[in-house]
Each structure stands twice: as structure tokens, then as C-alpha cells.
């Protein structure tokens, strides 16, 4: 079975441009998570969805960030306008609804974003 697929793997763009990151979760997984990883702050949860519905977006840093999940097999994270401090590795993860105590998250390989 294919794992979580993210695209693009690398993105370099200029400040002010719109950036769209894409994620295809593992088929059948009910939960989808977007994380950001930096050296300074480690791995931070930005937002997560359950059955395509956003449940908690309290980790989204600013209004410049938005995420959608139009169907069970696709999600996007958009930054508009982008700023240099948004540079990081963005991960998407998905998991089955197995209950609170046993919930492995399966991560994609991430998108390395550089804003110049």
C-alpha cells in the first residue's frame, strides 16, 4: 500500500508569492494532520481534519495560512502571501480512527519550503 504522498518535495519561491502544498493520505484513514518542522521549534501541529472536516486549526500561525480537504484523498495547505520565516519542512500525516490510546500517525516525506 502506498504511504502518504506529498508534493512537491522541494519548493523555492520569492517572498510574496502564493505557495500550495499537496497531500494524499493513506486510503481509508480518517484523520489527516499538517505539521511544520524547524530547527528552532521542532515539529508543530498546524491543523488536523477528521473525515474531511477541520477539527482544530489552533496551530495555524496566521491568516496567511489556510488548509482544505475537499475529499478523503486530497488536502492542500496554502500560504498567501509567503514570507521568509515560513521556510521549513511541512509534513502531512494520516491515521486510522483507532481510538485515543493507539493511534499511529503515518507521515509523508515532507515538502522542504524555502522562501527567498
Partner 1 sequence: TQLLEQSPQFLSIQEGENLTVYCNSSSVFSSLQWYRQEPGEGPVLLVTVVTGGEVKKLKRLTFQFGDARKDSSLHITAAQPGDTGLYLCAGLSSNDYKLSFGAGTTVTVRA
**CA separation (Å) from 50 to 17, 29, 41, 71, 96?**
29, 9, 25, 11, 10
Beta 65-71 vs 53-56: how paired, if at all? unpaired
* Beta carbon nearer to partner 1, 8 or 83: 8
Q: Does 31 bind partner 1 (CB under 8 A)?
A: yes
Beta 10-13 vs 111-115: how paired, if at all? parallel
* Beta carbon nearer to partner 1, 27 or 80: 27
* Beta carbon nearer to partner 1, 18 or 109: 109
Cβ–Cβ < 8 Å for 98, 45:
no
Which one of 13-21, 49-57, 62-70, 76-84 is the stretch in contact with partner 1 (CB under 8 A)?
Answer: 49-57
Q: Does 25 bind partner 1 (CB under 8 A)?
A: no
Q: Which residues bind partner 1 (CB under 8 A)?
A: 4, 31, 42-45, 48, 50, 55-56, 91, 93, 100-110
Amino acid at each position: 500500500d502506498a504511504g502518504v504522498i506529498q508534493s512537491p518535495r522541494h519548493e523555492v519561491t520569492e517572498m510574496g508569492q502564493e505557495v500550495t502544498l499537496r497531500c494524499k493520505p493513506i486510503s481509508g484513514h480518517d484523520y489527516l494532520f499538517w505539521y511544520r518542522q524547524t530547527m528552532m521549534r521542532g515539529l508543530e501541529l498546524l491543523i488536523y481534519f477528521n473525515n474531511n472536516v477541520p477539527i482544530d486549526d489552533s496551530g495555524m500561525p496566521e491568516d496567511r495560512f489556510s488548509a482544505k480537504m475537499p475529499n478523503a484523498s486530497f488536502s492542500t495547505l496554502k500560504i498567501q502571501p509567503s514570507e521568509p520565516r515560513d521556510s521549513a519542512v511541512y509534513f502531512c500525516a494520516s491515521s486510522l480512527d483507532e481510538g485515543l490510546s493507539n493511534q499511529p500517525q503515518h507521515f509523508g516525506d515532507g515538502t522542504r519550503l524555502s522562501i527567498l
